[in-house]
Structure 1
Amino acid sequence: MNILYIGNNSSHSTSYHRAMALKRLGHRVDLIDPETLLRSSLMHKLHFRTGYKLLQHQVANFLKQQINAVNPDLIWVNGGELLGKKSLHVLKTLRAPIVLYNNDDPTGTRDGRRFDSLRKALPYYDLCIVRLEKDEGELLHYGARQVLRVYMSYDEEAHKPFDRPSEIPVQFTSDVAFIGTWMRHEKRDEFLLKLIRAGIPVSIWGARWPKSPHWNALKAHYRGAALSGRDYVAAIQGAKICIGMLSQGNRDLHTRRSVETTYTGGLLCAKRTTIHLDMYTENQEAVFWDDADECIDVCKRLLADNEQRENIRKAGYNKVRALKVGNEDICTAILKQLNF
């Protein structure tokens, strides 16, 4: 099948991983990236805050130029925040079903006007794919025709664990790791600081942490900027425990880290939610907490018990594969929903 794939073409992006999964499934994938129109971080911030409204004419023209020589059986839009009604009208001329895959919270309020253009374009998609915790009624309210809710996914190739722990570079080994971005209103810094003050040996990787008001207390535990590729895999697999945090503003009940951690061979230690409890048997395949105090108790217990920690890690590794939430699995389910 010929698939016209519209999404981020960066080799470390989740969008690119998903496109490669479709290729591995045997499909021809023509990948075009409208984000190339955002030539600077300042331009990106401007359009993010205005819902990409000022960019709509450029995006539509960009798509017209890119689709001249393609004849797809399916059009796959990953993310979709740059594409408004004009862009969808352009894609409709190809007379192929159009699917939107969005892992964020396009009907939420955390990101202000970011998804304004996307929401106006929802009626023009044949199928909208959203995270499991999203209420399909919210998308139907904006005119979505059909909604499919799925788990977040790992990538079978990009997140493949190292064959032997000895292959993991020593700079990516740790006792308790948190890999993620500092966010102004999420209080991740306060949470980790409480763990540190309780004696938990926390290592932090991620973007924007020097912006935290608690940076002076955290910087001794900071191991570096955002990770990608094999470094990302190494930091998860090289940790005894991996802390998984959610975004309240994004209404998360699970994230990509919920499945990437266990697939990579790490032990998931995350906030207790209905979806996490549906995915994993608590204290057998993953461990959960309601607050920092409980997380501290869980970490102390597991760091002191190598056998239990290893049993949980192995069980989580097996369970996430049984869940069939890899990119290839999810892509197959989506194509089946579209009768391909």
Structure 2
Amino acid sequence: MNKHARVLFVGDLWRGSNAKSLADGFAAAGADVVTVDTTGVASPALGSPEWVYRKVKGRRAPWLLNRVHARIHAAADAFRPQFLVCFKSIHLDQDLLLHLPGNPVTVHYSPDDVSNPANTTPAYLAAEAGWDLVVTTKRHNVGELRARGARAVAFVRSAYDPAWHHLSYRPSPRRWPIGFIGNYRPDRVEVFRRLGAAFPGRCVIHGPYWRRALPRGIPGVAVSAGRYAEDFSTTVAGIQANLVLLNSDNRDTHTCRSFEVPAAGGLFVGERTTEHQELLTDGRECLLFDGEDELLDILGSLAPAAATRVAAAGHHRVTTSGHTYADRARQIMGTLTGRTELEVPA
């Protein structure tokens, strides 16, 4: 007789995180999921002893790691998972993860470019070949991981979470003509300088680190805090043209926003890549650009009626094409078991 797969999921499970969405995706796909939250390891609370230690020593606090490792081992001992899924667990003890009680099948999931040194550690790289499956959201990583000796590799696209990314009300009668929800990056500044000059007072950025990096702001551009969980979709609803900008450090050809923006009903205005063209039809379900000049041309000629029509078509395409985290969980488990549902032999 078959029974639902037992999955021990390890990752940063703060509200609105991609790791939490993937853990929920495994549960929605039918798995029995137990989690261990590692948020404190990656992002210790500001001013906490763990935060101070990391600032002074440049590494994670050993007492925090010991607590997390103890929780993982205890959960595995009690739950006896058939599968261990770790979401970018590069700072944890790899030997412990690969030798848990019950000897579960081990899966390491990375949402970032695994050839970028910022997304690995020497300890993880030394143990990478020990994982049963390495999952990457970057197609270009597949060959690189195999060349590094990874035992098995799966390319799985990013996704959206229906709990957070859905059609929503907007909190104000005003709708920003142009908006971006995402982190500060130095190579993103120039495009917003140009947008602020071309469309003064008509562009908004919602994201962390922008104010810290640019205390004087960007002329013509409003800057606000990041938007997560439920706030993401209400913010998208308040923007006519939602920019989808890729992370050059990850060599992105698509990103989580590629799914989240249209799932939330926003007009996807993004960089022209092969994967974006596979996901949505340019001109009908999204608007794609090569370079800042074309972006400014698109935004300058965009009519509200056209924006509404294209956004609706993009929403329909993404939400009816199997792009939720539950769909990705099924894909991962199908890679491991050769089946399409989350069931394994008892």
Q: Could you tell me whether the CA contact under 8 Å between 2:269 and 2:286 is conserved in 1?
A: yes
> How far apart in 1 are the matches of 2:11 and 2:76?
14
2:325 to 317, 327, 330: 327
> How far apart in 2 are the matches of 1:295 and 1:26?
42
1:71 to 69, 80, 85: 80
> How far apart in 2 are the matches of 1:220 and 1:196?
4
Q: Could you tell me whether the CA contact under 8 Å between 1:100 and 1:125 is conserved in 2?
A: yes
**Is 1:23 matched up with 2:31?**
no
Determine the structure 2 residue equivalent to 1:141: 147
Q: Relative to structure 1, is the Cα distance of residues 73 and 67 closer, same or farther in structure 2, using a 3 angstrom cutoff? A: closer
Determine the structure 1 residue equivalent to 2:281: 281
Partner letter of residue 103 of structure 1? Answer: P
User: Residue 301 of structure 2: SS of its match in structure 1?
Assistant: helix
User: Residue 180 of structure 2: SS of its match in structure 1?
Assistant: strand
Q: Relative to structure 1, is the Cα distance of residues 187 and 133 closer, same or farther in structure 2, using a 3 angstrom cutoff? A: same
1:115 to 121, 126, 139: 121
> How far apart in 2 are the matches of 1:97 and 1:289?
42
The C-alpha deviation readout for 1:222-275, integer Å capped at 9, x for no partner, is: 342111122111111221100111111111111100110111100111111121
The C-alpha deviation readout for 1:126-149, integer Å capped at 9, x for no partner, is: 111101433312112332111110
Q: Relative to structure 1, is the Cα distance of residues 120 and 84 closer, same or farther in structure 2, using a 3 angstrom cutoff? A: farther
Partner letter of residue 115 of structure 1? Answer: T
The C-alpha deviation readout for 1:101-155, integer Å capped at 9, x for no partner, is: 111112224x2x7533322221121111101433312112332111110111001
**Is 1:85 matched up with 2:85?**
no
**Is 1:96 matched up with 2:96?**
no
Determine the structure 2 residue equivalent to 1:105: 113
> How far apart in 2 are the matches of 1:122 and 1:55?
24
> How far apart in 2 are the matches of 1:265 and 1:338?
33
2:130 to 103, 124, 132: 124
Q: Relative to structure 1, is the Cα distance of residues 219 and 118 closer, same or farther in structure 2, using a 3 angstrom cutoff? A: farther
**What are the residue-to-residue correspondences of 1:202-281 with 2, within 5 Å?**
202-213=203-214, 215-218=215-218, 221-281=221-281
Partner letter of residue 124 of structure 2? Answer: L
Determine the structure 1 residue equivalent to 2:341: none
Partner letter of residue 181 of structure 1? Answer: N
- How much identity, in percent, do the aligned residues show? 23
Q: Relative to structure 1, is the Cα distance of residues 175 and 226 closer, same or farther in structure 2, using a 3 angstrom cutoff? A: same
**What are the residue-to-residue correspondences of 1:6-85 with 2, within 5 Å?**
6-37=10-41, 39-41=44-46, 43=50, 58=66, 60-85=69-94
> How far apart in 1 are the matches of 2:178 and 2:335?
40
Q: Relative to structure 1, is the Cα distance of residues 55 and 285 closer, same or farther in structure 2, using a 3 angstrom cutoff? A: farther
Partner letter of residue 126 of structure 1? Answer: D
> How far apart in 2 are the matches of 1:51 and 1:120?
18
| Higher RCO structure, 1 or 2 (CA under 8 Å, sep 6+) | 2
User: Residue 330 of structure 2: SS of its match in structure 1?
Assistant: helix
> How far apart in 2 are the matches of 1:40 and 1:61?
20
**Is 1:195 matched up with 2:199?**
no
> How far apart in 1 are the matches of 2:198 and 2:59?
42
Determine the structure 1 residue equivalent to 2:297: 297
> How far apart in 2 are the matches of 1:321 and 1:243?
19
**What are the residue-to-residue correspondences of 1:173-184 with 2, within 5 Å?**
173-183=175-185
Aligned residues: 328
Q: Could you tell me whether the CA contact under 8 Å between 2:98 and 2:106 is conserved in 1?
A: no
Q: Could you tell me whether the CA contact under 8 Å between 1:84 and 1:121 is conserved in 2?
A: no
Partner letter of residue 323 of structure 2? Answer: V
Q: Which runs of 5+ in 1 are unaligned?
A: none
1:313 to 293, 311, 314: 311
Q: Which runs of 5+ in 2 are unaligned?
A: 338-343
Q: Relative to structure 1, is the Cα distance of residues 138 and 55 closer, same or farther in structure 2, using a 3 angstrom cutoff? A: farther
Query: 1:324 Cα deviation (Å)?
Result: 1.4
Partner letter of residue 335 of structure 1? Answer: M
User: Residue 284 of structure 2: SS of its match in structure 1?
Assistant: coil
Partner letter of residue 337 of structure 1? Answer: T
TM-score by length of 1: 0.87
> How far apart in 1 are the matches of 2:332 and 2:98?
23
Partner letter of residue 10 of structure 1? Answer: W
Q: Could you tell me whether the CA contact under 8 Å between 2:110 and 2:136 is conserved in 1?
A: yes
Q: Could you tell me whether the CA contact under 8 Å between 1:97 and 1:126 is conserved in 2?
A: yes
Determine the structure 2 residue equivalent to 1:158: 164
Partner letter of residue 324 of structure 2? Answer: G
